[in-house]
Amino acid sequence: MTIPPGTCLALDAGTVTAKLAVDGAAEPVIVAPVVAGPWRTRVSAVLYAAGAASPVDGICLAVPEAWLDGGVEGTTEQEALRHACEDELGITRITWTGQLAAVAALAAQQRGPGRYLVADIGATGVRTALIEVAGPVVRIVAAAAAAGGGWRDFDAAVRVQVPGGGYLPGDWYRLVTDQGRRARAALIRATSSPSYREAPVTDEAAPHELLAGPLIDCFAPTEQRLRTAAAQVLQGGAAEVAVLTGGLGWFPLAATAIADVTGTGPDPVVLRSGAAAQGALLFARGTVRLARPASLATVTMPVNRMAGGQLVQDDLALPWTEPFARPADEALHISEQVVIVDIAGRRVTANVPGLMPGPCRVGVRAGWTGRSVLVVRPDDGAGPPVVVSLDALSAGG
């Protein structure tokens, strides 16, 4: 498939598979294994697999909510991906959204506005978020993550349960999902009645018999993480709709656990692989947008420039809507490992250890949590960025 220039694209930057949603394509989501290597290699591989023209003009990147929280660690990850896409691959008009925010936006196309509890049981862990959708505006209220208990751990535990170390096909889960209501009924009954633990969740024609009790035991670590993470984000308020996604979102006990925690009913919305990419496509089109972070302070940077043959001091605005400030004439030159900025009229000094003296780019990032950071990196992109918490500067002076 060849993707014409100007087509809206959205990329879900997953850890095991990358998913690219293409506007108007017969195949709405292209799934490609994540290749080893830096972000430049990983992104270019999925674009090549999809037949996207290079350079791409316009893409929405769906990333973990933790990358957009205004913290140092998350912003560092986000900046690494931005640098690969924009500076190295020449991708223009990059926008961002959280992966779970994108899933909520997609679900809201069917369910309408409201507060969504989105739970993603991925390959390596469990993530949840409380997302508020009000018309075209999507707001991340709270997010939580728990490592472990993901699809890979569950799959490995199930395989141990196979009698005699027997072989299970890679898509063994279809043996369960094909049974639908039967499997769900057996699993739910077995959680409260030990007599049902030996009930099969596959029919007699299946090449492998899977029993309810062992599956429940294998899922227990995942369920504990799911309940804990969901309860954590619900401290931000009640949810009206629950959504399950990810590699293990289909498992019947995931639905009962999330319904129990949220009180939203026994039948949450279940969205399979590709939901985050499809939801991010709504952001790429401009159909929806992330809510503007509250209380954005004015941030400027004092600079010296030549005017009429004289050296004069000026204030360079660091806009929240762009990755970096745009000086009128030339790049910013930083000679020491400090950057002086004015935050809402108050001057503070930020230490930027490790930054090489010379031309640099300086920008600010605001997170959905209310936190924000300063990002400084060499203008040529050769060195790593230095990310400093503006909130710490504001508090410490």
Model pLDDT for residues 84-98, shown as the tens digit of each residue: 999 999 998 899 999
Q: Are residues 257 and 304 in the same domain?
A: no
Q: Are residues 262 and 113 in the same domain?
A: yes
Domain termination residue (choose one: 99, 118, 145): 99
Higher pLDDT, 354 or 172: 354
Residue 38: give the domain boundaries: 9-99
Domain termination residue (choose one: 99, 126, 159): 99
Q: Domain total for the chain?
A: 3
- Residue closest to 269 by CA, chosen among 134, 29, 28, 103: 103
φ, ψ for residue 379, nearest 5 deg: -65, -30
Torsion (CA) 385, 389, 390, 394 in degrees, nearest 10: -150
Q: Are residues 88 and 116 in the same domain?
A: no
Q: Are residues 77 and 113 in the same domain?
A: no
- Which range is least confidently modeled, 159-173, 197-211, 226-240, 315-329? 159-173
Q: Is residue 126 part of a domain?
A: yes
pLDDT in tens, 262-279: 998 878 999 988 999 999
Q: Is residue 289 part of a domain?
A: no
What was the pLDDT predicted at 315? 87
Q: Are residues 306 and 389 in the same domain?
A: yes
Q: Are residues 93 and 240 in the same domain?
A: no
Please give the average per-residue pLDDT across 291-304, as a whole number: 84
Q: Are residues 118 and 74 in the same domain?
A: no
Q: Are residues 117 and 232 in the same domain?
A: yes
Q: Is residue 148 part of a domain?
A: yes
Q: How confident is the model at residue 1 (pLDDT cuts 50, 70, 90)?
A: low
